[in-house]
Amino acid sequence: MAFGGARMKVALITGANKGIGLEIARQLAVQGCTVLIGARDEQRGEDAARQLRAQGLDARFIQLDVTNMHTVEEAAREIEHRFGKLDILVNNAAIAQDTVPPSQLDLDVLRRTYDTNVFGVVAVTQVMLPLLHKSDAGRIVNMSSGLGSLTQTSNPDWGFAHVNLLAYNSSKTAINAITVQFATELRNTPIKVNAADPGYVATDLNQNRGHRTVEQGATTPVRLALLPADGPTAGYFNDDGPVPW
């Protein structure tokens, strides 16, 4: 299936072997995209791609560890060889390891969190940009969180203000800033860059305590991945619209 007569869209989703990432891949594939399941573990990645193919969807595993530049560069070379372009990049891979108040946080936890959640996003985006430039309508979606909003987390009356996780929250705030910086650089190109807040989704990241389903959590990132030419860039959105920075 093609979009508006255009060539088949190719979408790479990092951390896509489970949770929101897998559901984003599924929903994009339902819309006619070829989805590349980015995952560190070959077995889990292949199993996830096979699961989607069993539903009649075009899904392929691609090995990618966002903290390992060799795998990122190899993934880009493979995409270039097989497809010649990349239309959609969803930077979904993330970790959450905070278990103590900010004053007690081990700096190693902060470093590991930023290595995946921040540096990994920048690395993948930089390496994939030449392929996105070959698309007629490149889209970058960075998975953020409502916990990345300084406006919300600084408001004691906000429903999740008590979730005071220094490493995770600040990494998502950094993602919001990174989103704006890339969008500014790419503003005069067809590429649009936005951040998505999926809401409190039940995933392994939060021991499945979230009240939203992965289907609900994937709605906004999928919408941003398929934005029309007149869609927004440099934005931060959830299902209800813009999220305050």
Residue with tokens 């953020």: 144
Catalytic residues: 168
Work out the number of other CB atoms within 10 angstroms of the CB of residue 25: 30
In the chain, what are the domains?
A: 10-96+112-150+168-242 (3.40.50.720)
Spatial contact of 17 and 24, defined as CB atoms under 8 Å apart = no
Residue 40 is encoded by which pair of tokens?
């560190």
User: What is the radius of gyration, based on Cα positions, of the chain?
Assistant: 17
Per-residue pLDDT in tens (0 to 9) along the chain, 245 residues:
233 333 589 999 999 999 999 999 999 999 999 999 999 999 999 999 999 999 999 999 999 999 999 999 999 999 999 999 999 999 999 999 999 999 999 999 999 999 999 999 999 999 999 999 999 999 999 999 999 999 999 999 999 999 999 999 999 999 999 999 999 999 999 999 999 999 877 465 655 565 578 889 999 999 999 999 999 999 999 999 999 99
Residue 208: its pLDDT value, please?
Answer: 58
Q: Which of 32, 44, 26 is nearest to 8 (CA)?
A: 32
- Residue 19 CB partners (closer than 8 Å, separation 6+): 201, 203, 204, 205, 214
Residue 205: its pLDDT value, please?
Answer: 60
Q: Is the dihedral of CA 172, 92, 161, 169 positive or negative?
A: negative
Residue with tokens 């891979």: 93
Residue 204: its pLDDT value, please?
Answer: 58
Residue 35 is encoded by which pair of tokens?
């989805």
Give the chain's length: 245
Residue 118 is encoded by which pair of tokens?
């921040």
